[in-house]
Amino acid sequence: MNMKTSSPIMTIMQNAARKASRGLLRDFGEVETLQVSRKGPADFVSRADKKAEDVIFENLRRDRPGYGFLLEEAGVVAGTDKSHRFIVDPLDGTTNYLHGIPHFSISIALERTIDDISEIVAGLVYNPITDEMFFAEKGRGAFINDGTRGGADRRLRPSRRDIFTDSLFATGIPFMGKPGHAKFLKELHQVMGACSGVRRMGSAALDLAWTAAGRYDGYWERDLSLWDIAAGVLICREAGLEVESLSGADVLVACDPIVTNAELMAPLQQRVI
């Protein structure tokens, strides 16, 4: 059934993501040829990342001229409307993109602040390679398109698996200079030894979206940034999943999500907290 699931603001956000994806896809086609060079494609990918952010910024600013921004590359851009700002990651999964691995995403969220209380009210995670658009608005549920342009939207259905040994989880691994390797290896050992498997795919935004879609039974990760998780956290909550912070703080402040269904939350927490 074809459902009308997108408001005007979501349509604006989706259009901006799709426009940015065209350049990312075009540049991704060049990455493989650059792998053979001694320097590699790092500078090229940095430019692709920045170009995608510029496209998103220009389109969103045109359609909502007063809104502020938190951009991964450019940082904070103040707006005249102090109650709204877009939170943008133009290329989540940069290392995958850099190495020619077709698993990366665009993440856009809208934050609303009223009386000093902020919440994410809309968010999308878009995979340009598969043309899968995961999206949600507060109080309206979470959805995915059907992977073909112009296709019907479907409500996201997360996994209801309740047996830990049958469950598949996703996470992220600390990298280059980040602390926490020893703690992570202990967590990984404790989870891997008791479940069906653990995946590390390289895009936190897609990990969250895939958990909301039931492809993973749960997900945890530390030391992320707000632009990595803002959209994905809303999508997971609107899909009906439990979303907590590994440190017990506000997950959008600590940026350390643990996400799964009600049946698996306690046993997953026991192994990673």
Over residues 154-162, the mean pLDDT reads 97
- State yes or no: pLDDT of 266 exceeds 90: yes
Strand 105-114 and strand 81-92: pairing? antiparallel
Q: What is the pLDDT of residues 9-62, one digit of tens each?
A: 999 999 999 999 999 999 998 887 776 565 667 888 899 999 999 999 999 999
The owner of tokens 């050992």 is: 189
Same domain, yes or no, for 30 and 145? yes
Three-state DSSP state, 4 = coil
pLDDT of res. 176: 66
Same domain, yes or no, for 122 and 195? no
pLDDT of res. 2: 43
Same domain, yes or no, for 130 and 256? no
pLDDT of res. 5: 62
Same domain, yes or no, for 90 and 25? yes
Over residues 209-225, the mean pLDDT reads 97
Q: What is the pLDDT of residues 110-144, one digit of tens each?
A: 999 999 899 999 999 999 999 999 999 999 999 99
Asked if residue 2 is part of any domain, the answer here is: no
Asked if residue 67 is part of any domain, the answer here is: yes
d(CA 126, CA 119): 21
- State yes or no: pLDDT of 228 exceeds 90: yes
Over residues 152-161, the mean pLDDT reads 94
Asked if residue 3 is part of any domain, the answer here is: no
Asked if residue 110 is part of any domain, the answer here is: yes
Over residues 167-184, the mean pLDDT reads 85
Q: What is the pLDDT of residues 70-114, one digit of tens each?
A: 999 999 999 999 999 999 999 999 999 998 899 999 999 999 999
Same domain, yes or no, for 149 and 184? no
Same domain, yes or no, for 30 and 47? yes
Cβ(157)–Cβ(209) below 8 Å: no
What does pLDDT average to over the chain? 93
Residue finishing a domain among 136, 155, 174: 155
Over residues 248-273, the mean pLDDT reads 97
List residues bridging with 110 in a β-sheet: 86, 122
For the chain, how many structural domains are there in total? Answer: 2
Query: What confidence tier does 243 reach under pLDDT thresholds 50, 70, 90?
Result: very high
pLDDT of res. 51: 96
Residue finishing a domain among 155, 183, 203: 155
Query: What confidence tier does 1 reach under pLDDT thresholds 50, 70, 90?
Result: very low
Asked if residue 106 is part of any domain, the answer here is: yes
Asked if residue 41 is part of any domain, the answer here is: yes
Domain harbouring 54, CATH code = 3.30.540.10
d(CA 98, CA 60): 26
The owner of tokens 């939207």 is: 153
Give me Rg for the CA atoms of the chain.
18
Host domain of residue 100: 8-155
Over residues 217-225, the mean pLDDT reads 97
Query: C-alpha angle 44/12/77, rounded to 5°?
Result: 60
pLDDT of res. 181: 84
Same domain, yes or no, for 38 and 94? yes
Domain harbouring 214, CATH code = 3.40.190.80
Same domain, yes or no, for 115 and 217? no
